[in-house]
């Protein structure tokens, strides 16, 4: 008979009943801990100013000055041709749109500017530039002009437009404040006449933010 070949057994085979598991990761996060995206690098500072208004210049003392034209103001019902009409006029070599009031009983005009654009420490005034046409009506009640600063200070003036010259641009101050290097934010300026009387004939060019001469 031929010789049987002997087979060698593997040393220490794994038990047949022992399953093989993958190696767990080291220090896994708890199952209940949600993963959070990393914060953005170099976030913008809170005082980053918004987009500036279209017209900017400096005065003879190198202080910043701005004009917020009527198109950049918030005028209630200005998109409805029954109440307002937009006209194009010349202004210092530029063509701009002005808003002409046709007929409303509730007049509300708001504007804003980030004070981060202003020259720190400078005394500023906000002045609306408006005109009353010859054929106007409804201005027996005064118009309220208001300026609110980032600090929450509010300045209000009531102006009788009946005393203003017709057909000519006039400047009406809403208020004044000193630009602070420590406190930035939007200043809000407005003109309003909320009485129930219908009115017509006011033309709005815009509002100027400029240094005021200190006495």
pLDDT at 14 over 70: no
Report the alpha-carbon distance of residue 100 to residue 137 in Å, rounded: 13
Instruction: Give residue limits of the domains in the chain.
Output: 55-211
Residue 53 pLDDT level (bands cut at 50, 70, 90): low
Number of Cβ within 10 Å of residue 189's Cβ equals 24
pLDDT in tens, 136-162: 999 999 999 999 999 999 999 999 999
The pTM assigned to this predicted structure is 0.75
Locate 185 and state its tokens: 């934010």
Residue 24 pLDDT = 41
Residue 36 pLDDT = 37
* Percent of the chain clearing pLDDT 90 (strictly above): 66
Mean pLDDT of 40-68: 68
Tracing tokens 């219908």 back to the chain, one arrives at 198
Residue 202 pLDDT = 98
Contact criterion met (CB below 8 Å) for 147 and 126: yes
CATH class, 55-211 region: mainly beta
């Amino acid at each position: 008979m031929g010789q049987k070949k002997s087979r060698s057994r593997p040393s220490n085979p794994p038990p047949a009943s022992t399953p093989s598991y993958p190696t767990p990761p080291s220090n896994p996060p708890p199952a209940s801990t949600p993963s959070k995206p990393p914060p953005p690098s170099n976030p913008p500072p809170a005082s980053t100013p918004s987009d500036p208004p279209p017209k900017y210049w400096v005065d003879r003392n190198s202080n910043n000055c701005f004009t917020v034209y009527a198109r950049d103001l918030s005028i209630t019902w200005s998109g409805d041709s029954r109440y307002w009409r937009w006209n194009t006029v010349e202004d210092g070599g530029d063509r701009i749109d002005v808003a002409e009031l046709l007929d409303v009983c509730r007049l509300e005009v708001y504007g804003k500017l980030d004070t981060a654009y202003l020259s720190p420490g400078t005394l500023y005034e906000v002045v609306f530039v408006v005109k009353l046409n010859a054929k106007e009506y409804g201005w027996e009640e005064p118009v309220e002009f208001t300026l609110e600063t980032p600090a929450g200070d509010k300045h209000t003036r009531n102006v009788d437009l009946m005393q203003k010259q017709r057909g000519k641009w006039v400047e009406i101050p809403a208020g004044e404040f000193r630009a602070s290097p420590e406190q930035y934010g939007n200043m809000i300026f407005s003109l309003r006449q909320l009485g129930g009387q219908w009115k017509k004939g006011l033309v709005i060019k815009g509002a100027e933010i400029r240094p005021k001469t200190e006495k």
